[in-house]
């Protein structure tokens, strides 16, 4: 089935934060340099996934690995942005706990060549929780406006994308088994949110704070 126009637009949207990150990298703090790495990795990942799909190769193993890599990079962004020792401890715990679960799941329960919806869902749940805590920190910080801080836009992007795609990840394998056309239409929602998410990441990369 041909990729819809929105699918191509969503792929192109990954190049926007990657280009901005490349141009402004030397000006970034540690957390924003990690976001720059995430932008580069995400852009590379989507290109490889696209090429593999065009070659009719199964790209789900790569997508499953990206779930872990994305989680670690976002978690590190939050960790380096956190100002309280309690929040840093919580984030560090998440950065160890989820990868441990992911490795155990991959070793004993993973179905080869199939989307690992369980880990995708769990990853999004962790990311939403971590994002809420980091936004709560920024609300209590009176040193500047929240909308001027890059981590706020990162967290907003993560919450939006994770919340909106939670159901899509959950029903992905079912739709693939029943009706591929319904699967593509369901992912229109996901593609739209990815476009918005990448634009929010771009906004974060332009913030001075």
* Helix ranges (DSSP H) in the chain: 5-13, 15-24, 30-54, 60-81, 85-108, 117-140, 150-178, 180-206
8 confidence band (pLDDT: 50, 70, 90) = very high
148 confidence band (pLDDT: 50, 70, 90) = confident
| pLDDT average, residue stretch 151-180 | 78
Q: How far apart are CA 57 and CA 99, in angstroms?
A: 26
| pLDDT average, residue stretch 100-129 | 88
pLDDT (0 to 100) of residue 62: 92
Q: How far apart are CA 188 and CA 19, in angstroms?
A: 24
141 confidence band (pLDDT: 50, 70, 90) = confident
Q: How far apart are CA 33 and CA 65, in angstroms?
A: 21
With 70 as the cut, is the pLDDT of residue 171 above it? no
Q: Taking the C-alpha atoms of 124, 126, 132 and 137 in order, what is their torsion angle to the nearest 10 degrees?
A: -140
| pLDDT average, residue stretch 110-115 | 77
Range of the domain at 143: 5-206
Domain count, the chain: 1
């Amino acid at each position: 089935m041909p990729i819809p126009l929105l699918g191509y637009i969503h792929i192109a949207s990954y190049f926007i934060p990657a280009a901005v990150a490349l141009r402004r990298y030397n000006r970034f703090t540690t957390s924003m340099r990690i976001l720059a790495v995430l932008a580069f990795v995400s852009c590379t990942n989507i290109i490889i996934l696209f090429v593999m799909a065009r070659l009719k190769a199964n790209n789900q193993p790569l997508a499953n690995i990206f779930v872990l890599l994305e989680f670690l990079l976002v978690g590190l962004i939050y960790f380096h942005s956190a100002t309280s020792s309690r929040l840093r401890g919580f984030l560090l715990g998440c950065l160890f706990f989820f990868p441990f679960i992911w490795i155990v799941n991959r070793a004993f329960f993973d179905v080869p060549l199939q989307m690992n919806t369980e880990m995708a869902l769990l990853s999004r749940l962790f990311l939403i929780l971590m994002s809420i805590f980091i936004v709560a920190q920024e609300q209590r910080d009176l040193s500047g406006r929240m909308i001027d801080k890059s981590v706020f836009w990162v967290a907003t992007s993560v919450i939006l994308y994770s919340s909106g795609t939670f159901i899509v990840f959950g029903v992905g394998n079912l739709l693939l088994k029943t009706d591929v056309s319904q699967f593509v239409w369901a992912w229109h929602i996901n593609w739209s949110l990815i476009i918005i998410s990448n634009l929010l990441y771009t906004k974060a990369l332009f913030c001075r704070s």
